[in-house]
Chain A
Amino acid sequence: MLAVEIDNIHKSYGDTKALDGLSLTMPQGSVLGVLGPNGAGKTTTVKVLTTLITPDRGSALVDGIDVVADPDKVRARIGLTGQYAAVEERLTGRENLEYIARLFHMPAAEGRSRARELLQRFDLVEAGERVVLEYSGGMRRRLDIAMSLIARPSVLFLDEPTTGLDPRSRLSMWELIEELGSEGTTTFLTTQYLDEAEALADSIVVIDRGQVIASGTADELKDRIGGDRLVVTIANADNLGRAAEALAGLATGAIETASVDRQLLIPIKAGGGVLPRAIRSLDDAQCEVIDVELRRPSLDDVFLTLTGKTANDDEEIR
């Protein structure tokens, strides 16, 4: 059975289409990385699947259960960790876990032993008796995820779990998610970080403007780009056009230019002395070269190819 099955869901807020015919599936026992820039519809998708909002159109199933028709049954099978640590700050870690266990209608003894297990599992045994107000950001997130796992959910939803964390906490969160994944926790992970999706997810869907624009494993997505890329940085942005002309003979596809970075992105065939030829052509065209880099395609390139913009374009505008 599929853990998640979304078929053509739509959701609009006024004139804004948050979801515009999004469809995806996710098998059990896997980690799905949902990748997209701010405002692509990641959180809206999570909210539909966790019964927080109702889609205008389309169907969404979790564990084969319809989220609109049977929200309580869905709620019994999921765990949600949103973008902020949703914990009661003046309760201790243990009290928070036991509190959520009660809301899942677990018998008190089971709730207590489950809380003990999870505190141990998430390295919070000592902190368990302290109020959350005294926790660090990373500890709060760990407690938050522990709370989401209290009732042994079929699907764990992690909505941008590393947003706002310092680099060290981010890394330990990665380790945690990786471990959960290897233990078979079915995880629906949203992120705006390409490296995060690549490191943690078994398969990736890329979404933009409320639609899935690509899906597959990280390798499959990279294959779509095909071949390697040459990244050339030149001294003068005015010469970008001239440089692109000079390099056209080497390219296997359209050359991208970024005037701010004074860079050219040239899709090429791997190997074959491309590098010296490129430098020679640029020299002939009298373009001063600052840097030349041969790059294996990254997910950033995938995103650029698919949407014509980098994943973080939106953020830079703000």
Chain B
Amino acid sequence: MTSPETLEVGKRARQAVPTGPEWLLRDAWTEATRHLRVIPRNPELIAFATIQPIMFVLLFVYVFGGAITAPGYSDYNQYLLPGIMAQTVVFGSATTGVGLAEDLSKGLVDRLRSVPMQQSAVIVGRTLADLVKNTFTFVIMLVVAFMVGFRFEGSLFQALVATVLLLLFSYALSWVQALVGLSVKSVEAANSLGFLWMFPVTFVSSAFVPTETMPNWLQPIAENNPFTRVTNAGRALYNGLPADGAVVEAFAWSLAIIGVFAVLSFRKFRQTTAR
């Protein structure tokens, strides 16, 4: 124990602590680095982020691959794999809600809300860190997809746009998960609720089978599912097929989801405290 001067209570606080919206990016970066730093120290997380994409690709390709044909595509895999990629990055968004619920239950959110940082940076930093993690998952998935015969049949630029689109959509859903995580407050609930809604959203879509094969009442739902729009756009781009307005529409959907859910989650965050 050292001398009393160590504390020098009140000294710094009485100087002006710089605050204000110009700190949003720096605070978000501080938060993002907190999450990115712990990833290498969390072997389970790395294992999950690696095994999940490998498993999804192999299971779908070898279990469904032989049974279904998709007219207009050189191979069902060319149809299926963009769907699996889209689903996997969407599932990856669940970590955002679980992470926020964890911060909340540990009391960290209370601490963060009582320091002079930009409050919204907590969620921005979290979603950005999850985007990095999802990009890692996506790269692994792409490698496995190539190993089972997937090819970019359009230009490299089209493939790049498709990749950016899928990652942007997963980023958008991170904001939905942020609201889920902040609303349910417990890690377990964030985990189960966070995954629950993603099953109908990803399966009632064009990800695995053409929507025309579904019952009549289900078709319009599947067709208008934003996930279908994003999958269709990504699939067209990877396969070098005409995409019409689908790409623009898919980007618009992603940005709109980010906008709406960012507002809702920021508002929720400002009212959230443990217990």
A interface residue numbers (CB < 8 A to B): 28, 43, 47, 50-53, 63, 72-73, 75-78, 80, 82-91, 95, 99-100, 102-106, 117-118, 120-121, 123, 131, 147, 149, 151-154, 156, 179-180, 182-186
Contact with B42, one of A72, A90, A180, A183 (Cβ below 8 angstroms): A90
Looking at the assembled complex, report how far the CB atom of A128 sits from the nearest CB atom of chain B, in whole angstroms. 15
Asked whether B13 lies within 8 Å of A147 as measured between CB atoms, the reply is no
Within 8 A of A (CB), among B95-136: 106-108, 110-117
CA separation between A131 and B120, bound complex, in Å?
Answer: 27
How far, in whole Å, are A73 and B1 apart by their CA atoms in the complex?
Answer: 31
The docked-state distance in angstroms from the alpha carbon of A193 to that of B163 is 58
Q: Which of A51, A85, A90, A117 has the most CB of B within 10 A?
A: A90
B-side interface residues, number (CB < 8 Å): 39
Question: What residue of chain A has the Cβ atom nearest to residue B121's Cβ?
Answer: A103
Q: How distant is A317 from chain B, measured CB to nearest CB, in Å?
A: 19
B107/A152 in contact, CB under 8 A: no
**Nearest chain B residue, comparing its CB with the CB of A43:** B275
Q: Which residues of A contact B216 (CB under 8 A)?
A: none
B107 nearest CB across to chain A (Å): 4
Bound-state Cα–Cα, A154 to B10, Å? 4
Complex A-B: 12 CB contacts under 8 Å: A53-B273, A63-B13, A77-B10, A90-B37, A120-B1, A151-B12, A153-B13, A154-B13, A179-B1, A182-B4, A183-B4, A185-B9
| B7 adjacent to A82 (CB under 8 Å) | no
Q: Is the CB of B13 within 8 A of A76?
A: yes
Do the beta carbons of A52 and B18 come within 8 Å of each other? no
User: Could you tell me if A80 and B13 are in contact, using CB atoms closer than 8 angstroms?
Assistant: no
Contact across chains for B6 and A80 when beta carbons are under 8 A apart: no
Number of interchain pairs (Cβ within 8 Å): 132
List the interface of chain B (C-beta within 8 A of A). 1-2, 4, 6-14, 16-19, 23, 26-27, 30, 34, 37-38, 41-42, 106-108, 110-117, 273-275
B107 proximity list for chain A (CB < 8 A): 82-86
- A156: chain B residues at CB < 8 Å are 9
Whole-angstrom CA separation of A76 from B19 in the bound complex: 9
Contact of B1 among A47, A82, A121, A184 (CB under 8 A): A121
Q: Are A91 and B1 in contact (CB under 8 A)?
A: no
Once A53-B273, A91-B38, A123-B1 are accepted as A-B contacts, the answer to whether A154 and B116 lie under 8 Å apart by CB is no
Contact B114 A75 (CB under 8 A): yes
Known: A90-B38, A105-B18, A151-B13. 15 other contacts (CB 8 A): A51-B114, A72-B116, A73-B116, A76-B13, A76-B16, A76-B116, A83-B107, A86-B111, A88-B108, A104-B115, A121-B1, A151-B12, A152-B10, A156-B9, A182-B4
B12 touches A152 (CB 8 A): yes
Given A86-B107, A90-B38, A152 and B30 contact (CB-CB distance below 8 Å): no
C-alpha gap A73/B273 in the complex (Å): 20
B38/A185 in contact, CB under 8 A: no
For the complex, give the distance between the alpha carbons of A103 and B111 in Å.
11
In the complex, A35→B9 CA distance in Å? 24
B115–A153 CB distance below 8 A: no
Complex Cα gap A47–B271 (Å): 11
User: Are A117 and B2 interface neighbours, CB within 8 A?
Assistant: yes
